[in-house]
Amino acid sequence: MQDDPFRISFPQEMYKAFQEQHNNNEDARVVRSREVHCPFSGDLNSRNDQIALLVEDSRYTDDDLADILAIEITEAMQVWEARPISLFDCLEPSCRTPLLVRNRTHLLRLLRLEQSFSRFVRAEDPVEFKKLATMLCESCAQGLQHSYDEQHRAERCIQQARVAQLSRMPFAEYALTPEWRTRRNRVLFRAGKQCELCEERESLQVHHKTYERYGQELLTDLIALCRECHARHHNVLPEEAA
């Protein structure tokens, strides 16, 4: 699971909440930029506004930012916290609890996710669970995890029941299932649509080398054979696997 992070559908209502938040933050950046470049148009401290804008600029590392501003990054974050530009709330519509920004690294992660979602994600698109959970409060993230776990558990139970059903089927019945047809086609494709013993291309069959995983075979459990090689493969020929 760590190597291949699981994805879930981005719920429609959460996506609407995300869009609203993203638009508000974009508008806030425009307004603050105008106030910085035109300080007389608003009753604001231009220096602090400039600090807040730079804190949200991912092009600058913490060290670079400290050098540019001639202050420690903790002080820069205190300025930002006093009057932040971007605000983040839990995307669960029934919650919308403000998210606590722990530090600048966390802030930049939220900003990157916001930009990524805005550019590449639409409602009901699959998204990495960890990324979506970052945009939720702890309670809602745990609730979403529980919901996913329950759904995943139900899907596994259904899958296990199906495997058990397949394992009890006579081959004549199993050969008509989509599961077997998929495996059969993959074996034939792997073999280049030819017998893996003599390279004959006519009358190909897929034969079990072992029945240990019958119903949930690995591709290595199967071999593509022509009818003649299949007949010679064992002293007793099992049912055809056409």
Q: Give 27-84 pLDDT, tens digit per residue.
A: 887 777 666 655 544 444 678 888 899 999 998 899 888 888 788 999 999 999 999 9
The answer to whether residues 42 and 113 belong to one domain is yes
Residue 40 and residue 66 in contact, taking contact as beta carbons nearer than 8 Å = no
Q: Domain tally for the chain?
A: 2
Q: Give 119-163 pLDDT, tens digit per residue.
A: 999 999 999 989 999 999 999 999 989 988 888 899 899 999 999
Residue 33 confidence (pLDDT):
65
Residue 105 and residue 130 in contact, taking contact as beta carbons nearer than 8 Å = no
The answer to whether residues 13 and 87 belong to one domain is yes
Q: pLDDT above 90 covers what percent of the chain?
A: 59
Distance of CA 98 to the CA centre of its chain: 24
The answer to whether residues 111 and 217 belong to one domain is no
- To 5 degrees, how large is the angle CA 4–CA 216–CA 158? 75
Residue 207 confidence (pLDDT):
92
CATH number for 222: 3.40.1800
User: Is residue 85 included in any domain, yes or no?
Assistant: yes
Q: Give 194-210 pLDDT, tens digit per residue.
A: 999 999 999 899 999 99
More confident residue, 36 or 91: 91
The answer to whether residues 143 and 177 belong to one domain is no
Structural domain boundaries enclosing 109:
7-147
The answer to whether residues 198 and 107 belong to one domain is no
Q: How far apart are CA 177 and CA 217, in angstroms?
A: 13
The answer to whether residues 25 and 63 belong to one domain is yes
Helix (H), strand (E) at residue 139: helix 138-167
Has residue 241 got a pLDDT over 50? no
Cα atoms in the 13 Å half-sphere on the side-chain side of 166: 20
The answer to whether residues 20 and 62 belong to one domain is yes
Q: How far apart are CA 84 and CA 77, in angstroms?
A: 9
The answer to whether residues 175 and 141 belong to one domain is no
The answer to whether residues 218 and 135 belong to one domain is no
User: Is residue 113 included in any domain, yes or no?
Assistant: yes
Q: How far is CA 49 from CA 36, 39, 64, 114, 214, in A?
A: 6, 10, 18, 21, 67
User: Is residue 198 included in any domain, yes or no?
Assistant: yes
The answer to whether residues 122 and 181 belong to one domain is no
**Phi, psi (rounded to 5 degrees) for 158:** -65, -40
